[in-house]
């Protein structure tokens, strides 16, 4: 597949891609962990601190007004990017992890009782396992896990059977970080909604790779992190349907989330501020807005097509390497290639590739149950972004072949 992406121009937008690593041109294939930032994002952060910075929602002075306007503009950009119905549905948090913890500790505590069930899948990141385990410990609820097959796909029929009269929440990854699997989220949501069960989608990996429309999906919550979307780290988004967010108790108490405080009683602020206690991450919210502008100019549809071409190319080449096992071969898959090599530990793969200037992640990818399922201690993972090229994949493949020669 081809697209109209001007890849040389795009690469020039990312200053770090010009770095030499161990005297070799950087081949950055660790985008699922965190991707690199275009100059426009870097500039927006420098600009806000240089010209517009003050605390938000608090001052009448010019800088506070400027800073507040830019901060709230970024909220609208996020709202439009995922097609939420209102700015009130966009809550700024630290990242996907905090967003899931927020839902567990507010929606979860208010709605989940002993014996109730929370349904997840066997391919979740720890961020979509541990907060629910903590909630189960606190409430006496039970965590149910829908199984996956050897291709790394959800076994949908078993998932459906696990939706019971006791299920109070379904929380599922949109695209798996360890396998690349893209889940049939529309079907999952329809099946859960047929029993009036809300659905949270962990969009940490999906959001940089495809257009996401939360109204079309009809998910109840959608979470993601800015740093995987070409934006800054330390900022992320919880989307929630307004009616659900209105009914939820606040997460943390403090400044900005209140309307009136006396020692007897506190009245909470309206959405979205009810969930945003304390001074927020002002500059990084604005940086996230700049990342969204950048991506909109390229088009998420174009990015999806381009990256599908990269994944097909990499998969084809990887399959020709003897002793290479791809972990995660789902029919519907995003731009992630997890693999192991016979007789070479993934950590050695990571270290050896680094000596060639190639950055991949080696480890359990915060998805230990996935590693257990495939009976591997870890995998090496090459994850692609809009600025990667087939020439870089060739470098990766040559690198893998050369380390097989040395170690194999």
**Given the rule CB under 6 A, which residues bind ligand C6P?**
32-33, 95-97, 125, 127-128, 173, 177, 202, 204-205, 225, 361, 365-366
* CB of 400 closer than 8 Å to CB of 342: no
Cα–Cα dist 159/224, whole Å? 23
* CB of 251 closer than 8 Å to CB of 106: yes
Residues forming beta bridges with residue 119, ordered by sequence position: 144, 170
Cβ atoms within 10 Å, residue 249? 12
Contacts of 352 by beta carbon, 8 Å cutoff, 6+ apart: 399, 403, 406, 407
The residue (of 113 and 252) whose beta carbon lies closer to ligand C6P is: 252
**335-360 burial, b if ≥16 CB within 10 A, otherwise e?**
bbbbbbbeebebebbbebbbebbbbb
Shortest Cβ 343–ligand C6P spacing (Å): 25
CA 399 to chain centre: 28
The residue (of 64 and 233) whose beta carbon lies closer to ligand C6P is: 233
Cα–Cα dist 157/232, whole Å? 39
Query: Which entry of 35, 136, 219, 366 is annotated as an active-site residue?
Result: 366
219 counts as catalytic:
no
Cα-Cα-Cα-Cα dihedral of 28, 33, 34, 35, to 10°?
Answer: 40
Shortest Cβ 203–ligand C6P spacing (Å): 8
Structure token digits, residue 129:
């396992």
* Strand ranges inside 154-287, DSSP E: 167-173, 199-202, 221-225, 236-240, 258-261, 266-268
The residue (of 99 and 189) whose beta carbon lies closer to ligand C6P is: 99
CA 400 to chain centre: 27
Q: Which helix (H) or strand (E) holds 337?
A: strand 336-341
Shortest Cβ 179–ligand C6P spacing (Å): 10
Shortest Cβ 35–ligand C6P spacing (Å): 11
CA 405 to chain centre: 36
Shortest Cβ 2–ligand C6P spacing (Å): 29
The residue (of 106 and 338) whose beta carbon lies closer to ligand C6P is: 338
* CB of 395 closer than 8 Å to CB of 336: no
Shortest Cβ 52–ligand C6P spacing (Å): 26
The residue (of 5 and 120) whose beta carbon lies closer to ligand C6P is: 120
The residue (of 32 and 163) whose beta carbon lies closer to ligand C6P is: 32
Q: Look at residue 197 and give its three-state secondary structure.
A: coil
Q: Give the catalytic positions in this structure.
A: 366
């Amino acid at each position: 597949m081809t697209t109209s992406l001007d890849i040389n121009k795009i690469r020039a937008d990312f200053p770090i891609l010009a770095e030499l690593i161990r005297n070799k041109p950087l081949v950055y294939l660790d985008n699922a962990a965190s991707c690199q930032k275009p100059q426009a994002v870097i500039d927006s952060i420098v600009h806000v601190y240089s010209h517009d910075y003050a605390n938000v929602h608090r001052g009448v002075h010019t800088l506070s007004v400027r800073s507040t306007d830019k901060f709230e503009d970024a909220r609208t950009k996020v709202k439009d990017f995922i097609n939420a119905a209102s700015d009130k549905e966009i809550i700024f948090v630290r990242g996907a992890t905090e967003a899931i913890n927020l839902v567990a500790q507010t929606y979860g505590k208010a709605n989940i009782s002993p014996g109730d069930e929370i349904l997840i899948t066997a391919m979740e990141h720890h961020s979509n396992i541990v907060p629910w385990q903590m909630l189960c410990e606190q409430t006496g609820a039970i965590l149910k896990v829908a199984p996956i097959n050897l291709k790394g796909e959800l076994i949908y029929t078993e998932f459906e059977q696990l939706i019971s009269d006791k299920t109070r929440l379904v929380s599922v990854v949109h695209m798996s970080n360890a396998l690349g699997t893209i889940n049939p989220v529309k079907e999952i949501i329809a099946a859960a909604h047929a029993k009036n069960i809300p659905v949270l989608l962990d969009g940490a990996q999906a959001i940089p790779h495809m257009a996401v429309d939360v109204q079309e999906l009809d998910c109840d919550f959608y979470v993601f992190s800015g740093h995987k979307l070409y934006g800054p780290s330390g900022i992320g988004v919880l989307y929630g349907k307004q009616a659900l967010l209105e009914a939820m108790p606040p997460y943390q108490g403090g400044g900005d989330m209140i309307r009136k405080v006396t020692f007897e009683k506190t009245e909470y602020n309206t959405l979205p501020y009810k969930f945003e206690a304390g001074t927020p991450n002002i500059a990084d919210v604005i940086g996230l807005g700049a990342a969204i502008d950048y991506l909109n100019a390229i088009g998420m549809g174009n990015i999806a097509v381009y990256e599908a071409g990269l994944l097909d190319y990499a998969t084809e080449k990887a399959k020709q390497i003897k002793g290479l096992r791809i972990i995660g071969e789902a029919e519907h898959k995003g731009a992630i290639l997890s693999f192991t090599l016979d007789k070479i530990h993934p950590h050695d793969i990571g270290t050896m590739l680094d000596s060639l200037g190639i950055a991949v992640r080696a480890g359990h990818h915060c998805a230990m149950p996935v590693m257990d399922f495939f009976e591997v201690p870890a995998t090496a993972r090459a994850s692609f972004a809009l600025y990667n090229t087939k020439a870089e994949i060739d470098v990766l493949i040559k690198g893998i072949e050369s380390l097989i020669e040395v170690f194999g």
